[in-house]
Amino acid sequence: MILTAQLNIFKRVSHQDRLLFTKHLATMMKAGIPISEALETLVDQSRNPYFRKVLGLVFEDVKNGKNLATSFEKYPGVFDQFFISLIEIGESSGTLGENLDFLAKQLGKDYSLRKKVQAAFTYPGIVLFATVGLGGFLSLYILPKLVDFFKSFNIELPLSTKILIFFAELMKNYGIAIFAGAFILILILRMISQTPKVKPVWHTLILKLPLMGKLVTYVQLARFCRNLGTLITSGVPITKSLDITANTLSNLRFKRDVLVLSKALTKGKNVGETMRKGFPEFPPLVSRMISVGEKTGKLDETLLYLGDFFEDEVDDISRNLSTILEPALLIVIGLVVGFVAISIISPIYQLTGSIRR
């Protein structure tokens, strides 16, 4: 099991690899280069060994007369159903070059969205990591040495110093066990949260968190609207588009809702009307605009507009998240440093005062 997990690390293809491949393939197709020749060129250019191997096998299939979508379907871990559907539609309608170009733009927007979310947590993550590391070092190596020092004082210690001594003794006697236990507990909780029964509940709870929930919701809405709009624009039937879009969503609550929407369409209902009944994850703005898009016959344009709208919202929340978290972390760090400083200085000040008297 562990060996398989380690091998899978080397079988990953990043979003950036897929994006660059799609962009280059679209450019070469527009330039009139035959698809087999374009694939052969891109195989040599790929820096990811596993991706290069997959592209080589795809090239062999295409050279032997298979179409591109069928060749991609053999590697679902590299090319998802969204990607394959757009390629399939492009091949059947003779617009493969245009579809590849459109797909590259959508992948670029998705990549940009991921980067915005990552950027929002980069600085707070660094500060938090440094704080935990420094706190662990002080707790395990510095504070235990202060216990005997303070106990030698023949004075009544302040409450803050007593608290610090208690914490220092705790770290001196059980510090390594506490940190190891906390690390193991985090791993266990993470494993439990990924189990089939707990994962849906965990994903629902994430959506209810004060600021994080809104960020995750808008990321899922942006991906839902953009991917569904892209598929409909490319000519994929709406029920199939909903099924494909559901598999592109990372939050299981949203994924379930989109699959329910797909089933509702088979009963003659429309998307906007169904959304308004029992789908609180989708704000009224989405259901109303989708209803308008369905009535005017411009559902794809409406969805793409909503995708851009929610991407802008993600950008705003990301900036606000950094703005809120950074000072909050600094305040916490300042309070901890101030408490430690007062706890150490106060008894020393009392001792020097008693010696003068």
CB 188 within 8 A of CB 194: no
For residue 354, tell me if it sits in a domain: yes
For residue 9, tell me if it sits in a domain: yes
Cα distance between residue 348 and residue 335, in whole Å: 20
The four Cα atoms 205, 210, 212, 218 give a dihedral, to 10 degrees, of 90
Q: Which of 79, 102, 119 is the last residue of a domain?
A: 79
73 and 130 co-located in one domain: no
Q: Which residues of the chain have pLDDT under 70?
A: 1-11, 139-140, 143, 146-148, 150-155, 322, 351, 353-357
190 and 72 co-located in one domain: no
Cα distance between residue 254 and residue 259, in whole Å: 9
pLDDT for res 6: 37
Provide the domain limits for residue 73.
Answer: 2-79
226 and 272 co-located in one domain: yes
pLDDT for res 8: 44
For residue 247, tell me if it sits in a domain: yes
36 and 131 co-located in one domain: no
DSSP, collapsed to helix, strand or coil, labels residue 80 as coil
pLDDT for res 273: 81
What type of residue is 81?
Answer: Q
Q: How many domains does the chain have?
A: 2
Half-sphere exposure of 214 (CA within 13 A, CB side): 10
For residue 86, tell me if it sits in a domain: no
For residue 102, tell me if it sits in a domain: no
The CATH code of the domain that includes 49 is 1.20.81.30
Helix boundaries (H) for 199-298 = 199-208, 212-233, 238-246, 252-265, 271-275, 284-296
6 and 144 co-located in one domain: no
For residue 237, tell me if it sits in a domain: yes
pLDDT for res 294: 87
CB 22 within 8 A of CB 90: no
314 and 187 co-located in one domain: yes
pLDDT for res 128: 73
52 and 124 co-located in one domain: no
The pTM of the whole model exceeds 0.85: no
The four Cα atoms 172, 173, 177, 182 give a dihedral, to 10 degrees, of -60
For residue 103, tell me if it sits in a domain: no
